[in-house]
Amino acid sequence: MLRRTTPLSALLLLGVVACGAAQPPPELVDARKAYERASKGLATQLAPAQLDTAKQALDKAEKSFEDEGVDAPTPDLAYVAERKAELAEATAGKVAAERDAKQADKKFKDTQLEGLDKAKSELSKERQAGEKTKAQLEQERKELEQERVARAEAERKAAAAMASLQEIAKVKEESRGMVITLSGSVLFATGKYELLPIARDKLDEVAKALTDQGYKSIVIEGHTDSRGKAADNETLSLKRAESVRTYLVSRGIPSDKITASGLGSSRPVADNGTPDGRANNRRVEIVVQPLK
Amino acid sequence: MPQEALTAAQASVKGAEVGGANDDPKAQLHLKLANEQIDKAKKLIEDGKNEEAARVIDRAQADADLALALAEQAKSLKEYKDADEQLGKLKKKLNQ
């Protein structure tokens, strides 16, 4: 019995194998590939309904292949299944492109706003800089005006100082500076070097005028007439110059800007042979180096 | 029975044409296949081969649907490219 049945079973088996090994139609091969590709791509997330439809179409084609083999309607069903898989992919591609376009649009708007903010901020900065410059210009203008007023005031004071000096002393512009000459008889008693009370008043005026006018340095020169010993005259003239210097320092003239020297009778300005000439030669000269 | 499906397939072909299938090469190919199959189905119907005609109409319908989907995808991609290009131009302009 085994001998008789075995060849039959073998034949049946051969038939099944032959049937199972039947090559699918190219449409089904393409449909399988298309579905596999679609199911691994964006369609699973972006076109799940279309992908499901494609799967159902492929299942239908596979069932037809099982039942009918390569004959109709298998190739037609597979053809449709392949299109449906491609449609799922195209739909997913469309959705993705729409999503990307939306993002690009949003980015465009955001970038536009950023650009607008940037432009506003730059404009505001420029405006602030402009205002600052305006404020600086105004400040500079004020400073210049103040300087002009101060200079005018200084000139006025200097002129007034010069005028008041000229009332109490002889004032001359020389190459060595401005020379204020005070008569010796006004400042000192004969042979003395202590200042007379009236001298203090005059020197107060001089100190005030010098302070108002400004100066670089001051030299006090003591001069005598030619009577008596030259050495004594020099000593007396120096002491007198120092008296004047000390007094002016006490009235606010800085001590480092004022010096004293005794020149005795070495530089007469008038004839020592007459009483008037000698009176003119007995003097104190204040030589002022003006400010530039 | 095939006549009804044929009308539907023809409508889908029209829809794909209106949807811009002729502007995209791949969509245009499937539109062409759909039209060819519609013509083929018409002949089969004339010959009384309704069953075969129905299968060909299914093919035509699938191609027409795919043509529209491809046309729509192409249109969306173009819109995205345009938007991206505009964005690029704006960025370039702002960075100048």
Which pLDDT tens digit goes with each residue over B45-93? 999 999 999 999 999 999 999 999 999 999 999 999 999 999 999 999 8
Collect all residues of chain A within an 8 Å Cβ-Cβ radius of residue B58. Answer: 76, 80
B contact test, residue of A86, A91, A95 with most B CBs within 10 A: A86
Q: Say if residues B66 and A90 touch (Cβ distance below 8 Å).
A: yes
Q: What is the pLDDT of residue A4?
A: 43
A44-52's contacts with Cβ under 8 Å and 24+ in sequence apart are A45/A92, A46/A91, A46/A92, A46/A95, A46/A96, A47/A88, A47/A89, A47/A91, A47/A92, A47/A95, A50/A84, A50/A87, A50/A88, A50/A91, A50/A92, A51/A85, A51/A88
Residue range A85-101: mean pLDDT, rounded: 97
Mutation for A interface: B36, B49, B58, most A CBs within 10 A = B58
Q: Give A17-26 pLDDT, tens digit per residue.
A: 444 458 999 9
Interchain contact, B86 vs A104, CB within 8 Å: yes
% residues pLDDT > 70 (chain B): 99
R_g over Cα of chain A = 61
Strands A258-262 and A217-223, sheet pairing:
parallel
Residue A150 and residue A246 in contact, taking contact as beta carbons nearer than 8 Å = no
pLDDT at A7 over 50: no
């107060």: which residue's tokens? A204
Q: What residues in chain A have their Cβ under 8 A from chain B's Cβ atoms?
A: 72-73, 76, 79-80, 83-84, 86-87, 90-91, 93-95, 97-98, 100-101, 104-105, 107-108, 111-112, 114-115, 118
Cβ contact A90–B66 (<8 Å) = yes
Element of type H or E holding A289: strand A283-289
List CB contacts (< 8 A) between B94 and chain A.
Answer: 111, 114-115, 118
Rounded to whole angstroms, how far apart are CA atoms A186 and A91? 122
Residue B65: C-alpha distances to residues A22, A38, A58 (Å): 31, 17, 17
Q: How far apart are CA B56 and CA A118, in angstroms?
A: 62
Residue pair B42/B82 in contact by the 8 Å Cβ criterion: no
Provide the CA A137 distance to its chain's centre, in angstroms: 17
The verdict on a CB contact (< 8 Å) between B73 and A104 is no
The Cα–Cα gap between A72 and B9 comes to: 20
Please give the Cα distance from A179 to A157 (Å, whole number).
18
Task: Please list the residues that pair with A168 across neighbouring strands.
Answer: none
Average pLDDT value for chain A: 88
Q: Does A3 score more than 60 pLDDT?
A: no
Q: B89 at the A interface (CB within 8 A)?
A: no
Secondary structure (3-state) at B47? coil
Distance CA A247, CA A275 (A): 29
Interchain CB distance below 8 Å, A101 and B79: yes
- B30 chain-A contacts, CB cut-off 8 A: 83
> CB of B24 within 8 Å of any CB in chain A?
no
Closest alpha carbon within chain A to B60: A80
Q: A292 falls in which pLDDT band (50, 70, 90)? A: low
> Average pLDDT for residues A34-40, to the nearest whole number?
97
With H, G, I as helix, E, B as strand and everything else as coil, classify residue A279.
Answer: helix
Taking an 8 Å cut-off on Cβ atoms, the answer to whether B80 and A114 are in contact is no
pLDDT for B65: 98
pLDDT band at A2 (very low <50, low <70, confident <90, very high): very low
Q: Is the pLDDT of residue A261 over 70?
A: yes
- Report the complex ipTM: 0.94
For A54, the closest chain B residue by CA position comes to: B62
Strand partners, A119: none
| Cα–Cα distance, A46 to A165 (Å, whole number) | 106
**% of chain A beyond a pLDDT of 70:** 92
How many angstroms separate the CA atoms of A110 and A146, rounded? 53
CB contact under 8 A, A87 and B65: yes
Cα A25 from Cα A73, distance rounded (Å): 11
pTM listed for this prediction: 0.58
Percent residues over pLDDT 90 in chain A: 58
d(CA A126, CA A77): 72
